[in-house]
Chains A and B, each alone.
Chain A
């Protein structure tokens, strides 16, 4: 074991250790000091973020005999996951007090989940992919059910659990077939065996297909999406916000890593399939979202639709230049999605005064008069999710569409553009409600929440005006991937 081994997994190790200490800290904190735990959790995340940023200049390094790596890709994702964790804590802080779920287990579980996500980004072996997937999922099952005995929360937890376990069945079987085809679970060795021609391609394709089904569940791609609305609606909103951003990003991290690096040989077989999956997901997610009146369900279907746009990144895999651009575009879009998703769920939390009543779209009426800044921020997030200027969502979509067109799949870009127009209908309906309709929405004033929403909105707008450094970072991140 060398220093490099440790430095590669230093952020994950620190976060895990911090989570364990946090678990013990609750014992020694009097009940009145519970809010302090959120602060401690945020401190741990911030420290880890600092270390990850400090490591971002360092070179590619494998660790533990090729089990994990540190490269630009994992660094970009580590930063994204830690931001996700920080947002998650900020959104949970007061909401959990209101929902009376302020328990000591909450933040350690959240940190374990973030650690799993980070490990997913760094995984270079399918064993680690599998274990990271479970490490990020288990805490999420529990967190979804965290508000038990509230029936909705319990049900959300059970449904998420059963579907998640079902999905990991597919993942394990897919890994088994991949192992059978290539004789290894190490991504680099799988690539090498494909290149050497010793791998069995039909079996490898079957394994990749099963992996795709398993991760399709995780990222909520159609037709593996049916758990999403129920779970997003039933789980405590703070957990939903964390899950919508974090679990989806982690699922895509695994897909990008496995399909981007390990299966270029299968691209000819898989990329039409991916394109169809992306098209169906965009169409279905957007069309169903139009019909929703419940805010949480609408955002759930919107997150399904967003998975469709991200899946476009896997379509142009046959052409080298388009592939690199598509993956960089996906990373960029994941960042834009994370900010907009957290922001809009944050606004939902601010408006969710009565936790037993479902927040409908009509409840946004009059928000612009009642709380202009909140309404302005919500407008930014809706514009970003639609892909309109001046937001990061637009920049991300342009990069993704350009990659798809350069990959020769104009029809897919057309479907993407058309469904974006459809999505404008339901996203902008909220904006219309906020600014044009009269109403008296009840708004929770919470400093941390407002800070998180404001930060997400400002970054979404400001970075979109000068996105080139960010895009260079994303392109640098995927440089070593191929």
Chain B
């Protein structure tokens, strides 16, 4: 069997990779994909902890996180596509009309 700590280490690495993606990438779509990686890391930790604590409330939390993620994608991609329509770019560094 696989020790639960392995899952936790994997989830920590996945979370850090996602955070790295958010911080270094400029394309807002990739930033958003990296956020999904972070959420998946959290979900993985939840399911692993659920297995340890022998209660399924962690699994239910994952269920809600998935529902929220779906809603988030609907809102986020609508915003990104709307920006692209008027700007022809989804590069976050080129959104500079607010700087100064």
A: residues with CB less than 8 A from B are 127, 130-131, 134, 138, 141-142, 145, 148-149, 151-152, 154-159, 161-162, 165-166, 168-170, 172-173, 175-177, 179-180, 183-185, 229-230, 233-234, 294
Contacting B98 at CB < 8 Å: which of A156, A168, A184? A156
Residues of A within 8 A of B11 (CB): 176
Q: How far is the CA of A182 from the CA of B85 in the complex (A)?
A: 47
Q: Are B68 and A173 in contact (CB under 8 A)?
A: no
Q: Are A131 and B64 in contact (CB under 8 A)?
A: yes
Q: Are B98 and A152 in contact (CB under 8 A)?
A: yes
Q: Are A169 and B42 in contact (CB under 8 A)?
A: yes
Contacting A165 at CB < 8 Å: which of B32, B49, B57, B65? B32
Q: Are B64 and A162 in contact (CB under 8 A)?
A: no
Q: Are A130 and B64 in contact (CB under 8 A)?
A: yes
Q: Are A185 and B82 in contact (CB under 8 A)?
A: no
Residues of B within 8 A of A142 (CB): 75
Given contacts A149-B82, A183-B55, contact A230 B98 (CB under 8 A): yes
Q: Are B61 and A179 in contact (CB under 8 A)?
A: yes
Closest chain B CB from A239 CB (angstroms): 14
| Beta-carbon nearest neighbor of B95 in chain A | A155
Q: How far is the CA of A173 from the CA of B42 in the complex (A)?
A: 5
Q: Are A162 and B31 in contact (CB under 8 A)?
A: yes
Residues of A within 8 A of B18 (CB): 169
Contacting B68 at CB < 8 Å: which of A131, A145, A166, A229? A131
Closest chain A CB from B7 CB (angstroms): 11
| Beta-carbon nearest neighbor of B60 in chain A | A127
Q: Are A179 and B97 in contact (CB under 8 A)?
A: no
Q: Are A176 and B98 in contact (CB under 8 A)?
A: no
| Beta-carbon nearest neighbor of A148 in chain B | B82
| Beta-carbon nearest neighbor of B74 in chain A | A138
| Beta-carbon nearest neighbor of B80 in chain A | A158
Q: Are B79 and A169 in contact (CB under 8 A)?
A: no
| Beta-carbon nearest neighbor of B48 in chain A | A180
Q: Are B38 and A134 in contact (CB under 8 A)?
A: no
Q: Are B45 and A157 in contact (CB under 8 A)?
A: no
Q: How far is the CA of A169 from the CA of B69 in the complex (A)?
A: 10
Closest chain A CB from B21 CB (angstroms): 10
B interface SS class: helix
Total A-B Cβ pairs within 8 A: 127
- B21-57 to A contact mask, C-beta < 8 Å, 1/0: 0100000100110010011011101101100110101
New contact pairs (11) apart from A158-B95, A166-B22, A179-B58, CB-CB < 8 Å: A134-B68, A138-B71, A142-B75, A165-B72, A165-B76, A170-B38, A176-B45, A176-B58, A177-B45, A180-B48, A185-B61
B: residues with CB less than 8 A from A are 8, 11, 15, 18-19, 22, 28, 31-32, 35, 38-39, 41-43, 45-46, 48-49, 52-53, 55, 57-58, 60-61, 64-65, 68, 71-72, 75-76, 79-80, 82-83, 85-87, 92, 95, 97-100
Given contacts A152-B98, A173-B42, A233-B98, contact A138 B64 (CB under 8 A): no
Closest chain A CB from B50 CB (angstroms): 8
Q: How far is the CA of A40 from the CA of B19 in the complex (A)?
A: 43
Residues of A within 8 A of B60 (CB): 127
Residues of A within 8 A of B32 (CB): 162, 165
Q: Are A127 and B92 in contact (CB under 8 A)?
A: no
Q: How far is the CA of A172 from the CA of B42 in the complex (A)?
A: 6
Residues of B within 8 A of A145 (CB): 79, 82
Contacting B79 at CB < 8 Å: which of A152, A158, A183? A158
Q: Are A151 and B45 in contact (CB under 8 A)?
A: no
Q: How far is the CA of A23 from the CA of B61 in the complex (A)?
A: 29
Given contacts A152-B97, A172-B65, contact A184 B86 (CB under 8 A): no
Q: Are B64 and A151 in contact (CB under 8 A)?
A: no
Can you list 17 A-B pairs with a CB-CB distance of less than 8 A?
A127-B60, A130-B61, A134-B72, A148-B82, A154-B83, A155-B95, A161-B75, A169-B35, A173-B38, A173-B42, A176-B43, A179-B46, A179-B58, A179-B61, A180-B45, A180-B48, A233-B98
Q: How far is the CA of A294 from the CA of B98 in the complex (A)?
A: 11
Contacting A154 at CB < 8 Å: which of B39, B64, B75, B82? B82
Closest chain B CB from A155 CB (angstroms): 4
Q: Are A173 and B95 in contact (CB under 8 A)?
A: no
Q: How far is the CA of A158 from the CA of B19 in the complex (A)?
A: 18
| Beta-carbon nearest neighbor of A150 in chain B | B86
Q: How far is the CA of A125 from the CA of B42 in the complex (A)?
A: 17
Q: How far is the CA of A175 from the CA of B83 in the complex (A)?
A: 33
Q: Are A173 and B80 in contact (CB under 8 A)?
A: no
Residues of A within 8 A of B39 (CB): 169, 172
Residues of B within 8 A of A131 (CB): 64, 68
Closest chain A CB from B17 CB (angstroms): 12
| Beta-carbon nearest neighbor of B54 in chain A | A183
Top 7 closest pairs, chain A to chain B, by CB: A169-B38, A180-B49, A172-B42, A176-B45, A183-B53, A173-B42, A230-B98
